[in-house]
Amino acid sequence: MKISVLGTGQVGRTLAGGLAALGHEVAVGTRDPDATLARTEPDAQGTPPYSRWQDDHPGVRLLALADAGAHAELLVNATSGTASVDALAAAGVGERDGLVVLDVANPLVFSGDGLSLSVANTDSLAETLQRAFPTARVVKSLNTVNNAVMVDPARVPGEHVMFVAGDHAAAKEAVTGLLDELGWAGRVLDLGGVRAARGMEMYVVLWWHAARAVGTFDVNVALARA
Amino acid sequence: MKISVLGTGQVGRTLAGGLAALGHEVAVGTRDPDATLARTEPDAQGTPPYSRWQDDHPGVRLLALADAGAHAELLVNATSGTASVDALAAAGVGERDGLVVLDVANPLVFSGDGLSLSVANTDSLAETLQRAFPTARVVKSLNTVNNAVMVDPARVPGEHVMFVAGDHAAAKEAVTGLLDELGWAGRVLDLGGVRAARGMEMYVVLWWHAARAVGTFDVNVALARA
């Protein structure tokens, strides 16, 4: 499948690399590819410059957002939550009818006193995207785990699960197929419509606290059930 | 221990019964005991009248809030989230120095289109209570599971966990002791200060969606970790 991943941070890179390794034709989309490739220093979060990752992944093309959007049969939103609407607009998602958008982003806001969300409770990032791009088919998934776990669920032992939410059944099937390829087969739980993304995004605050408490981000939810 | 449980709904009853069965001297606090006992019909949620439960639990006294507060060596808040500050104030929590308040309530708001929280993201019910009653020692716990699971974690198979959060280490130890008695020994994860209650309360939205998806509320989080 032709897949474009919007976002050149650690999440975008890991997903692009993981999907390319499965044989998909993957492009990464960014606002200004030349500027992205010109950086030689780690960013403020300590992420190494993209050019180094690019050298290790010559099969993944880095494209401007509009070109990445045109390439995509399926589009992955791995931009920061507060930039996502603008990035998808620049990728032309508004002009694409029925494009599946896998939204893995979280609307995280880190401030001096901890973590909060830029949208929560009565709305979610996934719903914001679905409203902004009504002809797209937004599916929320993968946002509940660390990027390394997204493409390698076996990092975490046990019967842990991956949630999906979205209003379009066929789009959820397409995403579930990708999840299965990434190693999530038999672990996917459909929570229903895109509104359930509220729970998936708000959970990330608990996940963050729990990961700190246990000392690793290789942590996920298993649903113990009677 | 002398324990008062504020709230006569299903959560309050189940916790009062479970704690009394362990040998604690349990009272249930309500605004108007005579009115509570006079009801003979199920409430709007289908909960049977309190008098029937009282008949089955003659050792648990039903007291007015002020009397319940005076009885308490440890107080459990099982009122609805939007009523909790008023209930604790009426129980005299503001005049008690160092009283441990185990807050199991969730600030749930059910409307026609689903579930949301009356406080979230940048605040939580537990933090609201700790601010309103600065001499109390608020510990958030048990809010992440259904009432039946609170007092009988073995209903759910697997290595699932119970979180605690609060600013006072000794209060968390007291609560963890009660949790151990209820069956949670070895399963308690301390998330840190009371601010972590934000994650525990927001998670309930995911829990609610997940319980509907799997078809039972006997569901809890296990933390699969590397």
How far is A90 from A86, CA to CA, in rounded Å? 6
How far is A196 from A124, CA to CA, in rounded Å? 9
On whether ipTM exceeds 0.90, the answer is yes
Partner-chain contact A221 B218, CB within 8 Å: no
| Chain B residues lying within 8 Å of A214, measured CB to CB | 189, 223, 225
pTM score, two decimals? 0.96
Partner-chain contact B158 A191, CB within 8 Å: no
> Which member of A165, A222, A226 has the closest CB to residue B224?
A222
Partner-chain contact A189 B200, CB within 8 Å: no
Local confidence pLDDT in tens for the 226 residues of chain B = 999 999 999 999 999 999 999 999 999 999 999 999 999 999 888 899 999 999 999 999 999 999 999 999 999 999 999 999 999 999 999 999 999 999 999 999 988 778 999 999 999 999 999 999 999 999 999 999 999 999 999 999 888 999 999 999 999 999 999 999 999 999 999 999 999 999 999 999 999 999 999 999 999 999 988 7
CATH code matching the domain that covers B2-214, chosen among 3.40.50.720, 3.40.190.10, 1.10.3720.10, 1.20.1560.10: 3.40.50.720
Is the four-CA dihedral A56, A61, A66, A72 of positive or negative sign? negative
Chain B nearest-CA residue for A152: B226
Helix intervals (H) in chain B: 10-21, 33-38, 50-56, 65-71, 84-90, 125-132, 147-150, 169-179, 197-214
Strand-pairing partners, residue B223, are A221
* Domain-wise residue ranges, chain A: 2-214
Element of type H or E holding A38: helix A33-38
How far is B158 from B219, CA to CA, in rounded Å? 10
